[in-house]
Amino acid sequence: MNTAFITNFCPFYRVKLYKILAEKIGAKFLFFSDASEKNWESLNPHGSDEVAVVPLRAGSDSKLKVMFNLAKELWSNDYDIFVQGVSGKFAVLISFIIAKLRGKPIILWTGFWNHPQTFFHKITFPLIRFFYKHSDAVVGYGTHVRDYLISIGVDKDKIFVAQNTADNELYNKEVKDSERNKLLRELSAENCKIALFVGRLQKEKGVDVLLQAINCKLQIDNCKLIIIGRGPEQENLKSYCEENKLENVLFLSYVYNADLYKYYNIADIVLVPSVTTRFFKEPWGLVVNEAMNQNCVLIASDAVGAAAGGLIENEKTGFIVPEKNPEKLADAISKVLESEELQIKISNAAREKIKNWTYDKMAQGFIDAVDSVFKN
């Protein structure tokens, strides 16, 4: 089988998935982006050199030239099937039109579970819905995506779930006591309860809500909040801490992915307080997968895909709180930090569950979708 797999670029956490898809469905990867997306940390590594890539970009080629190269590649080469990630304003349109003109099946891959409310997105929604309904299959990040697609009229029998996955082997490494103690000393966090946030410092990540929650619960003794990330909201967030005398908050601009597991290891709770905006709703939140590998208790808002999509089960493998609600978030933080028994119970259940959240299972969603197309 010869599969054209069209998506924006190859982040490090997709390499193992793409290698499986190259083997199982003959995927060749057509990356149309230079990884300059606003929702991508530029310091994070790429993995494009580790998979079979069909080059679409040479040097400083314009986006128009890249789209032309994509169209030329899809039109002139004998692919059996197209798999198209739902990203980029024009790539989906080009792939869909060429698939229909050439009589090739097309599968869409998406993490969206609501439609952005900008003017552009509102006027293009009928077109996006048309693509979903007239594709041969759709692969979604989780059950939340499946439910959303059904709600807009997509045939449930052609929707497949490829549960969104991080590289467990990167995050489940053992941390020696000496390493743990050294890191705690460096962070001036010895004998502290530690709450951790990892992500971009942008509005949709809800870090302002998190700081309001911490401000609500200053009575929590010996709790330190560590915020790892960069972004346009960084100075506003620091100013809030200064104005409200939140001396128990530490900002770290960046930690290499290869070292993050140590920070998860020292954390009692990991917080994912994302909020819905006109532009964005958290498709998944791979921080959840990562942290579960180190026996962390996750507290996420209900605007997080991993919470809506089945990985976090409320009060079983983590806690789910209403978005934009600092009081409820503060209550959940207190509930966990004040009960060691609860913390152990939830964190053990989370680590057990993440063991089965693997690249092989994620790949199976694509394999099943491809099989369904050719059976029909």
| Residue ranges of domains in the chain, CATH in brackets | 3-165+358-375 (3.40.50.2000), 168-354 (3.40.50.2000)
pLDDT of residue 273: 98
Cβ burial, residue 207 (10 Å; 0-12/13-18/19+): buried
Write the pLDDT tens digit of every residue in 67-90. Answer: 999 999 999 999 999 999 998 779
CB crowding 181-199: b at 16 or more within 10 Å, else e: eebbeebebeebbbbbbbb
Q: In this predicted structure, what is the pLDDT of residue 115?
A: 86
Please check whether residue 280 is in contact with residue 251, taking contact to mean a CB–CB distance below 8 angstroms. no
Pairing of strands 223-228, 27-31: unpaired
State the Cα–Cα distance between residues 31 and 15, nearest whole angstrom: 13
Give residue 47's pLDDT.
Answer: 79
Distance CA 142, CA 11 (A): 19
pLDDT the model gives residue 36: 85
Q: Is 333 helix (H, G, I), strand (E, B) or coil?
A: helix
Side-by-side strand order, sheet with 319-321 = 249-252, 223-228, 193-198, 269-272, 297-301, 319-321
- Return mean pLDDT, the chain: 94
* Residue 169 confidence (pLDDT): 96
Give the start-end residues of each E strand in 100-166.
106-110, 137-140, 159-161
Give tens-digit pLDDT for 5-36. 999 999 999 999 999 999 999 999 999 998 88
Confirm if 210 and 270 have CB atoms less than 8 A apart: no
CA distance 206 to 303: 10
Q: What pLDDT, on the 0 to 100 scale, is given for residue 55?
A: 86
pLDDT at position 59: 76
Cβ-count burial of 78 within 10 angstroms (0-12 exposed, 13-18 middle, 19+ buried)?
exposed
pLDDT in the model for residue 316: 97
Average pLDDT over every residue of 357-367: 98
Residue 239 confidence (pLDDT) above 80: yes
Query: For residue 273, which of 312, 250, 307, 300 has the smallest C-alpha distance?
Result: 300
For residue 203, pLDDT beyond 70? yes
Print the SS3 string covering 345-376. HHHHHHHHHHCCCCHHHHHHHHHHHHHHHHHC
Report the percent of the chain where pLDDT is more than 70: 99
- With a threshold of 0.85, does the pTM exceed it? yes
10, 29 in Cβ contact below 8 A?
Answer: yes
Nearest to 37 by CA among 56, 11, 5, 65: 11
Give the pLDDT of residue 221: 63
- pLDDT at position 51 is 85
How large is the average pLDDT for residues 210-239?
89
| pLDDT tens track for 129-177 | 999 999 999 999 999 999 999 999 999 999 999 999 999 999 999 999 9
pLDDT above 90: residue 39: no
CB-based contacts of 96, cutoff 8 Å, min separation 6: 84, 106, 131, 135
The predicted model gives 202-216 an average pLDDT of 95
